[in-house]
Protein backbone atom coordinates (compact mmCIF):
# COMPACT_ATOMS: atom_id res chain seq x y z
CA UNK A 1 0.00 0.00 0.00
CA UNK A 2 1.44 3.37 -0.99
CA UNK A 3 1.49 6.17 1.54
CA UNK A 4 -1.24 8.77 1.51
CA UNK A 5 0.23 12.22 0.86
CA UNK A 6 -2.25 15.00 1.55
CA UNK A 7 -2.17 18.60 0.28
CA UNK A 8 0.81 18.22 -2.00
CA UNK A 9 2.33 21.53 -2.97
CA UNK A 10 5.39 22.92 -4.67
CA UNK A 11 7.62 25.69 -3.34
CA UNK A 12 7.83 27.30 -6.77
CA UNK A 13 4.25 28.44 -6.30
CA UNK A 14 4.52 29.27 -2.60
CA UNK A 15 5.67 31.79 -0.03
CA UNK A 16 8.96 30.39 1.26
CA UNK A 17 11.13 29.47 -1.75
CA UNK A 18 9.21 30.63 -4.83
CA UNK A 19 12.07 30.02 -7.25
CA UNK A 20 12.56 26.36 -6.33
CA UNK A 21 10.66 23.37 -7.66
CA UNK A 22 10.44 21.23 -4.52
CA UNK A 23 7.39 19.16 -3.69
CA UNK A 24 6.22 18.52 -0.13
CA UNK A 25 3.07 17.23 1.52
CA UNK A 26 1.37 18.91 4.45
CA UNK A 27 0.79 15.48 5.96
CA UNK A 28 1.80 11.90 5.15
CA UNK A 29 -0.13 8.86 6.38
CA UNK A 30 1.89 5.63 6.38
CA UNK A 31 -0.07 2.69 7.77
CA UNK A 32 -0.82 3.80 11.36
CA UNK A 33 1.72 6.64 11.47
CA UNK A 34 1.03 10.28 10.62
CA UNK A 35 3.81 12.74 9.84
CA UNK A 36 2.99 16.44 9.66
CA UNK A 37 4.96 19.12 7.85
CA UNK A 38 6.39 21.61 10.36
CA UNK A 39 3.57 24.09 10.94
CA UNK A 40 4.13 27.83 11.33
CA UNK A 41 2.27 31.07 10.65
CA UNK A 42 2.08 30.05 7.00
CA UNK A 43 -1.37 29.32 5.62
CA UNK A 44 -1.99 25.80 4.35
CA UNK A 45 -1.86 26.91 0.73
CA UNK A 46 1.69 28.24 1.38
CA UNK A 47 0.72 31.59 -0.10
CA UNK A 48 0.06 33.68 2.99
CA UNK A 49 1.54 34.36 6.41
CA UNK A 50 -0.22 35.13 9.70
CA UNK A 51 1.30 36.88 12.69
CA UNK A 52 4.50 38.61 11.62
CA UNK A 53 6.17 39.81 14.81
CA UNK A 54 3.60 37.94 16.92
CA UNK A 55 4.70 34.42 17.97
CA UNK A 56 1.34 33.71 19.67
CA UNK A 57 -0.59 34.42 16.45
CA UNK A 58 1.83 32.22 14.51
CA UNK A 59 1.26 29.43 17.04
CA UNK A 60 -2.51 29.89 16.75
CA UNK A 61 -2.33 29.50 12.97
CA UNK A 62 0.00 26.52 13.28
CA UNK A 63 -2.25 24.68 15.72
CA UNK A 64 -5.34 25.35 13.59
CA UNK A 65 -3.40 23.89 10.66
CA UNK A 66 -2.44 20.81 12.67
CA UNK A 67 -6.06 20.22 13.70
CA UNK A 68 -7.31 20.55 10.13
CA UNK A 69 -4.59 18.32 8.67
CA UNK A 70 -5.19 15.55 11.19
CA UNK A 71 -8.91 15.64 10.45
CA UNK A 72 -8.17 15.37 6.73
CA UNK A 73 -6.00 12.33 7.58
CA UNK A 74 -8.82 10.57 9.40
CA UNK A 75 -7.31 11.40 12.80
CA UNK A 76 -7.94 13.84 15.64
CA UNK A 77 -5.81 15.82 18.07
CA UNK A 78 -6.22 12.90 20.50
CA UNK A 79 -4.01 10.81 18.21
CA UNK A 80 -1.02 13.14 18.70
CA UNK A 81 1.84 11.41 20.48
CA UNK A 82 4.80 13.78 20.21
CA UNK A 83 5.34 17.46 19.56
CA UNK A 84 8.54 19.44 19.10
CA UNK A 85 7.91 23.20 19.30
CA UNK A 86 10.77 25.30 17.92
CA UNK A 87 11.15 28.97 18.78
CA UNK A 88 13.80 31.47 17.74
CA UNK A 89 13.95 33.03 21.22
CA UNK A 90 13.54 31.34 24.58
CA UNK A 91 11.24 34.16 25.72
CA UNK A 92 8.74 33.21 22.99
CA UNK A 93 8.00 29.97 24.84
CA UNK A 94 5.86 31.95 27.29
CA UNK A 95 3.81 33.27 24.36
CA UNK A 96 3.35 30.08 22.34
CA UNK A 97 2.88 27.38 24.98
CA UNK A 98 -0.43 28.76 26.27
CA UNK A 99 -1.71 28.48 22.69
CA UNK A 100 -0.40 24.91 22.37
CA UNK A 101 -1.91 23.91 25.71
CA UNK A 102 -5.30 25.32 24.66
CA UNK A 103 -5.42 23.06 21.63
CA UNK A 104 -3.93 20.01 23.35
CA UNK A 105 -5.88 20.12 26.59
CA UNK A 106 -6.52 16.54 27.66
CA UNK A 107 -4.29 15.11 24.92
CA UNK A 108 -1.13 14.88 27.06
CA UNK A 109 1.51 14.41 24.33
CA UNK A 110 5.21 14.03 25.03
CA UNK A 111 7.05 17.23 24.22
CA UNK A 112 10.54 18.49 23.45
CA UNK A 113 11.12 22.25 23.21
CA UNK A 114 14.07 23.60 21.20
CA UNK A 115 15.38 27.13 20.61
CA UNK A 116 16.96 27.47 17.16
CA UNK A 117 18.95 30.22 15.46
CA UNK A 118 16.32 30.62 12.76
CA UNK A 119 13.58 28.85 10.85
CA UNK A 120 13.01 28.75 7.10
CA UNK A 121 12.65 32.54 6.92
CA UNK A 122 13.72 35.27 9.37
CA UNK A 123 10.12 36.35 10.06
CA UNK A 124 9.16 32.88 11.35
CA UNK A 125 9.30 32.82 15.15
CA UNK A 126 7.62 29.49 15.78
CA UNK A 127 7.29 26.05 14.21
CA UNK A 128 5.88 22.81 15.54
CA UNK A 129 6.56 19.24 14.49
CA UNK A 130 3.87 16.66 15.20
CA UNK A 131 3.91 12.87 15.23
CA UNK A 132 0.54 11.10 15.50
CA UNK A 133 -0.54 7.47 15.44
CA UNK A 134 -3.89 5.94 14.50
CA UNK A 135 -4.94 3.27 17.02
CA UNK A 136 -5.21 -0.19 15.47
CA UNK A 137 -8.53 -0.53 17.25
CA UNK A 138 -10.55 2.72 17.19
CA UNK A 139 -11.81 1.94 20.70
CA UNK A 140 -8.27 1.71 22.09
CA UNK A 141 -6.45 4.63 23.68
CA UNK A 142 -2.72 5.21 23.49
CA UNK A 143 -0.93 4.48 26.77
CA UNK A 144 0.18 7.82 28.22
CA UNK A 145 2.22 7.39 31.40
CA UNK A 146 4.02 9.57 33.94
CA UNK A 147 1.65 12.51 33.47
CA UNK A 148 2.99 15.80 34.80
CA UNK A 149 1.74 19.36 34.70
CA UNK A 150 3.98 22.31 33.90
CA UNK A 151 2.21 24.31 36.62
CA UNK A 152 4.34 24.57 39.75
CA UNK A 153 7.15 22.70 38.00
CA UNK A 154 10.66 23.81 37.12
CA UNK A 155 10.31 24.87 33.49
CA UNK A 156 7.11 26.92 33.22
CA UNK A 157 5.50 27.06 36.69
CA UNK A 158 2.74 29.46 35.63
CA UNK A 159 1.49 27.30 32.73
CA UNK A 160 -1.27 24.72 33.02
CA UNK A 161 -0.12 22.17 30.43
CA UNK A 162 -0.23 18.49 31.25
CA UNK A 163 1.86 16.11 29.23
CA UNK A 164 3.09 12.55 29.37
CA UNK A 165 6.70 11.48 29.80
CA UNK A 166 6.23 8.33 27.72
CA UNK A 167 3.59 7.13 25.26
CA UNK A 168 3.05 3.76 23.63
CA UNK A 169 0.90 3.90 20.50
CA UNK A 170 0.56 0.48 18.87
CA UNK A 171 4.23 -0.53 18.54
CA UNK A 172 5.54 3.04 18.55
CA UNK A 173 7.13 4.43 21.71
CA UNK A 174 7.67 8.17 22.21
CA UNK A 175 9.56 9.80 25.06
CA UNK A 176 9.62 13.37 26.24
CA UNK A 177 13.02 14.93 25.60
CA UNK A 178 15.12 14.12 28.67
CA UNK A 179 17.48 16.52 30.40
CA UNK A 180 18.96 17.03 33.84
CA UNK A 181 15.44 17.47 35.20
CA UNK A 182 14.12 14.86 37.61
CA UNK A 183 11.12 12.91 36.37
CA UNK A 184 8.77 14.82 38.66
CA UNK A 185 9.91 18.01 36.92
CA UNK A 186 10.75 19.82 40.14
CA UNK A 187 14.50 19.33 40.50
CA UNK A 188 17.39 20.13 38.17
CA UNK A 189 20.55 18.06 38.54
CA UNK A 190 23.95 19.04 37.17
CA UNK A 191 23.94 22.80 36.59
CA UNK A 192 27.15 23.62 34.73
CA UNK A 193 27.90 19.91 34.32
CA UNK A 194 26.71 18.48 30.96
CA UNK A 195 27.92 14.97 31.86
CA UNK A 196 25.84 14.88 35.04
CA UNK A 197 22.82 16.23 33.19
CA UNK A 198 23.27 13.43 30.64
CA UNK A 199 23.52 10.87 33.44
CA UNK A 200 20.17 12.05 34.80
CA UNK A 201 18.62 12.06 31.33
CA UNK A 202 19.74 8.49 30.62
CA UNK A 203 18.50 7.23 34.00
CA UNK A 204 15.15 8.86 33.20
CA UNK A 205 15.04 7.18 29.79
CA UNK A 206 15.68 3.74 31.29
CA UNK A 207 12.97 4.27 33.91
CA UNK A 208 10.41 5.59 31.44
CA UNK A 209 10.96 2.71 29.05
CA UNK A 210 10.51 0.25 31.92
CA UNK A 211 7.13 1.85 32.73
CA UNK A 212 5.95 0.87 29.26
CA UNK A 213 7.45 -2.66 29.54
CA UNK A 214 10.27 -1.68 27.22
CA UNK A 215 14.04 -1.22 27.47
CA UNK A 216 16.97 0.40 25.69
CA UNK A 217 17.00 -2.62 23.36
CA UNK A 218 13.89 -1.16 21.71
CA UNK A 219 15.48 2.23 21.02
CA UNK A 220 15.86 2.91 17.30
CA UNK A 221 16.93 6.55 17.15
CA UNK A 222 18.30 9.21 19.44
CA UNK A 223 18.64 12.91 18.73
CA UNK A 224 21.10 14.68 21.01
CA UNK A 225 20.70 18.44 21.36
CA UNK A 226 23.54 20.35 23.05
CA UNK A 227 24.09 24.08 23.45
CA UNK A 228 27.87 24.09 22.92
CA UNK A 229 29.86 21.90 20.54
CA UNK A 230 32.52 21.31 23.23
CA UNK A 231 29.95 19.36 25.29
CA UNK A 232 30.04 16.42 22.84
CA UNK A 233 33.12 14.95 24.50
CA UNK A 234 31.38 15.08 27.90
CA UNK A 235 27.93 13.92 26.84
CA UNK A 236 28.54 11.02 24.47
CA UNK A 237 30.64 8.83 26.83
CA UNK A 238 27.70 8.84 29.26
CA UNK A 239 25.25 7.88 26.51
CA UNK A 240 27.66 5.17 25.33
CA UNK A 241 27.85 3.69 28.85
CA UNK A 242 24.11 3.10 28.88
CA UNK A 243 23.64 1.87 25.32
CA UNK A 244 26.62 -0.47 25.19
CA UNK A 245 26.34 -2.51 21.97
CA UNK A 246 22.69 -1.72 21.19
CA UNK A 247 23.68 0.57 18.31
CA UNK A 248 20.81 3.01 17.72
CA UNK A 249 21.03 5.56 14.93
CA UNK A 250 21.96 9.01 16.16
CA UNK A 251 21.76 12.66 15.13
CA UNK A 252 23.65 15.28 17.11
CA UNK A 253 23.07 19.01 16.70
CA UNK A 254 24.14 22.17 18.50
CA UNK A 255 21.19 24.46 19.13
CA UNK A 256 20.77 28.01 20.35
CA UNK A 257 19.10 26.93 23.56
CA UNK A 258 16.80 24.56 25.42
CA UNK A 259 13.81 25.25 27.67
CA UNK A 260 15.95 26.98 30.34
CA UNK A 261 19.39 28.54 30.03
CA UNK A 262 20.94 26.12 32.54
CA UNK A 263 19.99 23.12 30.37
CA UNK A 264 23.04 22.04 28.34
CA UNK A 265 21.79 18.77 26.83
CA UNK A 266 18.52 17.13 25.85
CA UNK A 267 18.00 13.66 24.40
CA UNK A 268 15.07 12.64 22.23
CA UNK A 269 14.30 8.94 21.86
CA UNK A 270 12.25 7.09 19.25
CA UNK A 271 11.66 3.44 20.06
CA UNK A 272 9.55 0.57 18.77
CA UNK A 273 8.30 -2.48 20.63
CA UNK A 274 10.26 -5.42 19.30
CA UNK A 275 7.50 -7.96 20.07
CA UNK A 276 10.16 -10.62 20.51
CA UNK A 277 11.92 -9.82 17.23
CA UNK A 278 15.23 -7.96 17.17
CA UNK A 279 15.35 -4.76 15.18
CA UNK A 280 17.55 -4.84 12.08
CA UNK A 281 20.62 -2.65 12.62
CA UNK A 282 23.16 -2.08 9.83
CA UNK A 283 26.53 -0.40 9.20
CA UNK A 284 27.80 -0.06 12.74
CA UNK A 285 30.33 2.74 13.23
CA UNK A 286 31.60 5.06 15.94
CA UNK A 287 30.31 8.60 16.56
CA UNK A 288 31.57 11.09 14.00
CA UNK A 289 34.47 13.17 15.29
CA UNK A 290 34.81 11.10 18.49
CA UNK A 291 36.96 8.22 17.15
CA UNK A 292 38.38 7.36 20.57
CA UNK A 293 34.92 6.58 21.99
CA UNK A 294 33.77 2.96 22.00
CA UNK A 295 30.14 3.55 21.10
CA UNK A 296 28.77 1.50 18.20
CA UNK A 297 26.05 3.27 16.22
CA UNK A 298 24.00 2.06 13.28
CA UNK A 299 23.53 3.94 10.05
CA UNK A 300 20.04 2.52 9.56
CA UNK A 301 17.60 0.67 11.82
CA UNK A 302 14.45 -1.10 10.68
CA UNK A 303 11.84 -1.92 13.31
CA UNK A 304 8.77 -3.56 11.84
CA UNK A 305 7.83 -1.24 8.99
CA UNK A 306 9.53 1.83 10.50
CA UNK A 307 12.91 2.88 9.13
CA UNK A 308 15.23 5.25 11.00
CA UNK A 309 18.39 6.72 9.48
CA UNK A 310 21.37 8.29 11.13
CA UNK A 311 21.48 11.98 10.27
CA UNK A 312 23.30 12.13 6.95
CA UNK A 313 25.98 14.69 6.05
CA UNK A 314 28.85 14.97 3.62
CA UNK A 315 30.65 12.12 5.38
CA UNK A 316 31.36 9.10 3.19
CA UNK A 317 29.62 5.86 4.15
CA UNK A 318 32.74 3.97 3.13
CA UNK A 319 35.44 5.66 5.19
CA UNK A 320 33.74 8.34 7.26
CA UNK A 321 35.73 11.15 5.64
CA UNK A 322 34.16 14.45 4.66
CA UNK A 323 33.51 15.07 0.98
CA UNK A 324 32.97 18.70 0.08
CA UNK A 325 34.63 20.74 2.80
CA UNK A 326 33.43 24.32 2.34
CA UNK A 327 30.96 23.16 -0.32
CA UNK A 328 27.42 22.73 1.11
CA UNK A 329 26.05 21.67 -2.27
CA UNK A 330 28.47 18.76 -2.53
CA UNK A 331 27.85 17.79 1.10
CA UNK A 332 24.12 17.68 0.38
CA UNK A 333 24.75 15.54 -2.70
CA UNK A 334 26.78 13.05 -0.65
CA UNK A 335 24.13 13.03 2.08
CA UNK A 336 21.31 12.30 -0.34
CA UNK A 337 23.29 9.54 -2.04
CA UNK A 338 23.91 8.09 1.42
CA UNK A 339 20.18 8.20 2.16
CA UNK A 340 19.44 6.20 -0.97
CA UNK A 341 22.15 3.63 -0.17
CA UNK A 342 20.95 3.15 3.40
CA UNK A 343 17.34 2.75 2.37
CA UNK A 344 18.38 0.17 -0.22
CA UNK A 345 20.13 -1.79 2.53
CA UNK A 346 16.72 -2.47 4.12
CA UNK A 347 15.02 -3.07 0.76
CA UNK A 348 13.48 0.38 0.69
CA UNK A 349 13.77 3.50 -1.46
CA UNK A 350 12.98 7.21 -1.36
CA UNK A 351 9.30 6.54 -2.11
CA UNK A 352 9.02 5.28 1.48
CA UNK A 353 10.26 8.57 2.96
CA UNK A 354 7.57 10.23 5.05
CA UNK A 355 9.37 13.04 6.88
CA UNK A 356 12.64 14.92 6.58
CA UNK A 357 14.24 17.44 8.91
CA UNK A 358 17.09 19.49 7.50
CA UNK A 359 19.75 21.29 9.53
CA UNK A 360 21.90 24.13 8.18
CA UNK A 361 23.96 26.82 9.91
CA UNK A 362 22.70 29.86 8.01
CA UNK A 363 19.87 30.94 5.74
CA UNK A 364 22.04 31.21 2.64
CA UNK A 365 22.92 27.52 2.84
CA UNK A 366 19.23 26.60 2.53
CA UNK A 367 19.16 28.11 -0.96
CA UNK A 368 22.18 25.98 -1.87
CA UNK A 369 21.11 22.59 -0.52
CA UNK A 370 17.38 22.46 -1.25
CA UNK A 371 17.81 22.15 -5.03
CA UNK A 372 19.90 19.04 -4.31
CA UNK A 373 17.23 17.61 -2.02
CA UNK A 374 14.56 18.43 -4.60
CA UNK A 375 16.49 16.57 -7.30
CA UNK A 376 16.74 13.39 -5.23
CA UNK A 377 13.19 13.54 -3.85
CA UNK A 378 11.46 14.49 -7.07
CA UNK A 379 7.84 13.31 -6.94
CA UNK A 380 8.23 11.95 -3.37
CA UNK A 381 6.46 14.79 -1.50
CA UNK A 382 7.62 14.16 2.08
CA UNK A 383 6.51 16.25 5.04
CA UNK A 384 9.41 18.59 5.73
CA UNK A 385 10.89 20.80 8.44
CA UNK A 386 13.90 23.08 7.92
CA UNK A 387 15.95 24.39 10.85
CA UNK A 388 18.88 26.80 11.10
CA UNK A 389 21.07 25.77 14.03
CA UNK A 390 24.38 26.75 15.60
CA UNK A 391 26.49 23.80 14.49
CA UNK A 392 26.59 20.10 13.68
CA UNK A 393 29.01 17.46 15.01
CA UNK A 394 31.92 19.44 13.57
CA UNK A 395 32.31 23.01 12.35
CA UNK A 396 33.30 21.68 8.92
CA UNK A 397 29.84 20.17 8.38
CA UNK A 398 27.40 22.53 6.67
CA UNK A 399 24.38 20.28 6.20
CA UNK A 400 22.60 17.33 7.80
CA UNK A 401 19.33 15.61 6.99
CA UNK A 402 17.18 13.38 9.19
CA UNK A 403 14.94 10.91 7.43
CA UNK A 404 11.94 9.01 8.77
CA UNK A 405 10.60 6.34 6.43
CA UNK A 406 7.98 3.61 6.58
CA UNK A 407 7.93 0.51 4.41
CA UNK A 408 5.04 0.77 1.97
Q: Which helix (H) or strand (E) holds 129?
A: strand 126-133
**String of b and e for 117-132 (b: at least 16 CB within 10 Å)?**
bbbbbeebbbbbbbbb
Under 8 Å between Cβ of 22 and 10:
yes
What confidence tens digit (pLDDT) does each residue in 223-262 have?
999 999 999 999 999 999 999 999 999 999 999 999 999 9
Domain-wise residue ranges, the chain: 32-163, 172-303, 305-408
Length of the chain: 408
**Once rounded to an integer, what is the mean pLDDT over residues 57-77?**
98
**Once rounded to an integer, what is the mean pLDDT over residues 38-54?**
93
- What percentage of residues in the chain have a pLDDT greater than 70? 96
**Once rounded to an integer, what is the mean pLDDT over residues 6-12?**
83
- What percentage of residues in the chain have a pLDDT greater than 90? 84
Check residue 340 and give its pLDDT: 98
- 151 falls in which pLDDT band (50, 70, 90)? low
- Widest CA span in the chain: 54
* Mean pLDDT over the full length of the chain: 93
DSSP-assigned states of every residue in 138-154: TT---EEES-EESTTSS
Note the pTM of the prediction, 2 decimals.
Answer: 0.95
What confidence tens digit (pLDDT) does each residue in 109-119 have?
999 999 999 99
CATH architecture of structural domain 172-303: 2-Layer Sandwich (3.30)
- Helices and strands, counts by H and E, the chain: 6, 21
Question: Is there a shared CATH topology between the 172-303 domain and the 305-408 domain?
Answer: yes
Task: Give 136's strand partners.
Answer: none
Name the DSSP class of 312: B
Under 8 Å between Cβ of 125 and 58:
yes
Check residue 131 and give its pLDDT: 98
Does the domain made of 32-163 have the CATH classification 3.50.50.60?
no
- 209 falls in which pLDDT band (50, 70, 90)? very high
Q: State yes or no: pLDDT of 125 exceeds 80.
A: yes
Give the rounded distance of the alpha carbon of 169 from its chain centre: 17
- 152 falls in which pLDDT band (50, 70, 90)? low
Q: Round to whole Å and give the CA distance between 312 and 100.
A: 31
CATH architecture of structural domain 305-408: 2-Layer Sandwich (3.30)
Comparing 21-30, 181-190, 346-355, the range with the smallest average pLDDT is 181-190
- Report which of residues 157 and 110 the model is more confident about: 110
Q: State yes or no: pLDDT of 15 exceeds 60.
A: no
Check residue 360 and give its pLDDT: 98
Check residue 13 and give its pLDDT: 65
Amino acid sequence: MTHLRIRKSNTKDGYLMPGLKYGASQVVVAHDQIFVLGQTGLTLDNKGFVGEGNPAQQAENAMLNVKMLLEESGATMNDICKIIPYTTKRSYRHEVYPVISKYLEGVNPVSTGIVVKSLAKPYLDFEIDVWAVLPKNPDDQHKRLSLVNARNGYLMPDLKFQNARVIKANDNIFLQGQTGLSLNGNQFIGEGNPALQTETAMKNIVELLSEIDSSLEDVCKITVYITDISYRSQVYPVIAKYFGNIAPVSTGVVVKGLARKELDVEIDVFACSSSGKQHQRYFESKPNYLPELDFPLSKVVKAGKSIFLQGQTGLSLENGKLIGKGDPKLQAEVAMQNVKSLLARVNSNVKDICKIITYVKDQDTRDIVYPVIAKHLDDVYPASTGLVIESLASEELDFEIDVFAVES
